[in-house]
Amino acid sequence: MKTALILFADGSEELEAVTVVNILRRGGVEVTLAGLHDGPHRGSRGTVLLPDAALDKALAHQYDMVVLPGGQPGTNHLKADARVLALVRKMSEAGKQVAAICAAPSVLAEAGLLDGKRATSFPTCLNEYPKVQLQNAAVVEDGNIVTSRGPGTAMDFALVLLERLTGHAKRMEVEAGLVR
């Protein structure tokens, strides 16, 4: 079974995180939603989520994919956390799937993972990273990195991630069940 780790900080965008968790679980992926600390986290719109594990505990396991939702100040919390930067670098170096949506591609850029790569984000979030080949698409794939624009593209983003982990047929099966 494929595995995915979705990170969640106080101030992360709930819609992006929960959409990815939901779609991947529908597709049979073993998903761990990890908070930066123990206990509940309040998202950018005030929704309180109880992650499956704190990040320190989650880091004891291996994953096929790591996903970073955007939102503020959640993205800034992810970007300021040395564990997160080390994790995304380690996953990328191992050829694992690394994904970020909305403002969170800036975390990947901060980690040096988007240098010379095509990527997208919420408008202006990658402007301070001139080495990124900024695209205006809903979802951009470049090697093992997947980025997306924001809450409105969360479903497309999640379906691309599902396809990367489980294949086209499973994506189509899950998407059909969504009545999209």
List, by residue number, the catalytic residues.
Answer: 102
* Residue 88: closest CA among 157, 161, 146, 155: 146
Nearest Cα to Cα of residue 148 among 71, 72, 36, 54: 71
- On the 0-12 / 13-18 / 19+ scale of CB atoms within 10 A, 62 is exposed
Nearest to 114 by CA among 159, 63, 84, 104: 104
Q: Please give the Cα distance from 73 to 180 (Å, whole number).
A: 31
